[in-house]
Every structure is written in structure tokens, then in C-alpha cells.
Amino acid sequence: MPINILMPALSPTMEKGNLAKWLKKEGDTIKSGDILAEIETDKATMEVEAVDEGVLAKIMVPEGTQDVAVNQIIAMIASAGEKVAGVNAGSAAPAAPVAAAAAPAATTAAPATPPPVVSHAGPVAKAESSRVFASPLAKRMAKEFGLDLSAIVGSGPHGRVVERDVKAAQAGGTTKAAPPAAAAAAPAPAAPKPVMAAGPSDEATKKLFAPGSYEEVPHDGMRKTIARRLTESKQTVPHFYLTVDCNLDALLSLREQINAAAPVSDGKPAYKLSVNDMVVKAWAMALKAVPDANASWTENSMLKHKHADVGVAVSIPGGLITPIIRDACHKTLSTISNEMKDLAARAKNRKLKPEEYQGGTTAVSNLGMFGVKDFCAVINPPHATILAVGAGEKRPVVKADGMLGVATVMSVTLSTDHRAVDGALGAEALAAFRKYIENPMGMLV
């Protein structure tokens, strides 16, 4: 019996991806572990690995196809000489036994949405008690629009309600409003959830400009994801900001000494520390010293993290990605530096694995190399903190002896989720960070 290869979910919240390239062709012999295809998400390109053996009998989705839904059949593997018929391209997985193509598992510290339930037919999002199958995003949008999910016809895999179905229902006004909760269900009505503010329509915006005076560039998946997540963050996370100035003179001196002492092999030093490498280490050690600030907020509990996993913002064509230095407080500066160079290079080529950029407990965003003095960064949930780092610049300072002098000073601003890290706790963590920056020998212990 032919085995269906399904579009895999490369992360807990993935609903669709692009089938970038087939690495095998129809008729090729397939062994377990062979790489079949490359799948593009909004952030990375991943390889799809075969878990069964046989012959690649039929490719259902050609390479270059955009927005292929998770669980859609993309190919079929059969025994040698076995005929394959009766399945149309693009169909969803049938109830018969199937095998999803293996993909690297995404590990997250605290996913913002619950992971899908995994069955033999692949990942399927399972609705709550209503038994309506819907994606997490579709559920949230339906609540915000006051729509009844059971009245919406799903177009996703297995009839699952997805984002486009909710948008269509909202635009058409064909669904009934979600029924109010019974009066006896709660002693008092629950506070309404905030509704995402909608800006002017595309057409209204275009009318403000003369025809032909602009070029219209459609949003790609990465830009849409960034826009959605940052909008949700600013509208649902109460941001609180704290700023300090740090004297960099001792850190710059130590960095120069460490780099000068780096062993050389084949004419290349084993490492070359940047100021950002030392910032990552200092922030991780600060969270180790103030563990209550290394947390994530959930509606029912506080997640106190045992490791400081620091995401570092990296600009790539079309957007931004935050590869993660895991357990940064326990790694040497040279290890952090080499890891960061490798992650940044692969990020620019979209070759990161999901577990290398998903999760983390905090983040650092450094715009100092662009000459930015200071700024406030937007928190990326489930993080409760992000450190915004400005440029080091010569400034007049009052020295310990009371005399006026000049020092290299860097301004840093900590954004906190005030539900998890309030002002006093954030100030304590920021003071610990400043101590390590201004007394950098402490990072070598």
C-alpha cells in the first residue's frame, strides 16, 4: 500500500510553508534518512527527511509551490512496481495509515500557543470542548471578532478552520455571534479581551498618494509574522522601560587583551570578541544573579527559568531573526563569540533550525554599530525582557575623585513585561548587568 508523505509542521504554530525544492525525483529509490525536499518557512529553510523506504512513486506538489498547508500530501512512496492512483494533487491526508516526513523538532522554552496534538496522520490542532477543529490563530481571531467557530466552514487540513476562513467570515458577515456565557457560569461578567486595532484599509492608504508615485511590494511571510507578533506584543504586554549608562573603558581594555592573546591557527585567531559578545555574557550572568527576572508570564503561573538563554537580534534580508545562545551564563566569552558568528552567518542564509531561534528566555538588540545612542525594544513573548543596546561614545564624566574627565559610555534600555518583572526587579537586574560591564573581570570567573 502506498505511503503518503505529508507537509510537516516545523514548529508548533506552523500552518503552511513553501515547498522550495525537491531533491529526489519520481522513480528514485528512497531509503530511511534520505533528504527528500527543502521546505521554507517565514524564518528558515529546512530539509525534509524520509522515514520509510521504497520508490518515490508520485510527487503531488511541485517545487516552488507557495503556502502548502500542514498535513497536505506532497508525495507518495510505494514498493517497487506498485501502481499509485486515485489521489489528487493537493488533497488532505486520508484516514488510512500515513507517514509524515521527518523534520527537526522545534524546542521552545514556553510556546505562546499550545502545541498541536500529534497523531499518526501528522500534527492536527485540536479544538476545545466544542470539537471544532481550528488553528490557535483562528480561535483567537474568532474570539476577537465575536464569531462562532462552529458556524465557520474550514478550508484547512481535515476541515480545520484557519486564519483565512475567519477573515472571510468577518468580511462576509455570514456567521452568527458567539453565544454569551450563561449567567450562572460566573458571578460577574469577565472583562472583555482587547481587540486588535485595525488601521486604514489598503485602498484608503493608497488614495493618499498619487497613482504611479509608489511601488507596491507585497509582504512576504516573514514580514507578516513580524508585524503580527509585534502588534500583539505592544497591545497585550504592558511594557516598562529602564535606562542606565555604562562606562565601557575597562571592558574595552579587557577585550583588547583577550583578543591579543587568542591562539592563532593557519593565520587566523581562534576567536575575536566583540562588545556584543560581552554584552550577551554580562546580561546572562545578571539574570543568573537575579533569577526572579529570568521569567515568563502565563495566565496561570510564572515560569522561572533555570538557564539564561539569550536571543540576539540579527538583521537579515526582509526582516529580523533572533538566534539563541543557550545557557549563556555558563559559556566562555570565546564560545559565545564563535557560536554567535556561526548562528548569524546561517541566519542570513536562512539555514537555522527552528530550535536555534525559537524559545529563549530573554533577548538583546544592539543598534550601536549604526550609531544609535539609545532606543526602546519591543518584547518578544514568551520573553519578559529585552535589552536594547546603544553605541559606545566618548562623553564627559565626573570621575571618582570629583574631577571632570572623558569616558566611553554606552546607554542601555531594558524593556520588561511589567506583569512578570516590575520596576524594582528590573532595576535590580539592570544594576547587576552594569556591574559586570564596568567590572568585566567578573565575567571570566
- The whole-angstrom separation of Cα 53 and Cα 88 is 22
- The whole-angstrom separation of Cα 210 and Cα 300 is 51
Q: Is the dihedral of CA 92, 97, 102, 104 positive or negative?
A: positive
- The whole-angstrom separation of Cα 33 and Cα 133 is 32
- The whole-angstrom separation of Cα 99 and Cα 3 is 6
DSSP 19-87: EEEESS-TT-EE-TT-EEEEEE-SS-EEEEE--S-EEEEEESS-TTEEEEETTBEEEEEE-TT----S-
372 and 391 Cβ atoms separated by less than 8 Å: yes
Question: Is residue 53 packed enough to be buried (19+ CB in 10 Å), middle (13-18) or exposed (0-12)?
Answer: middle
Nearest by Cα to 293 from 380, 365, 384, 363 = 384
Q: All 3 cell numbers of residue 8?
A: 510537516
Residues in the chain: 445
Nearest by Cα to 194 from 156, 160, 236, 145 = 236
Instruction: Provide the annotated active-site residues.
Output: 418
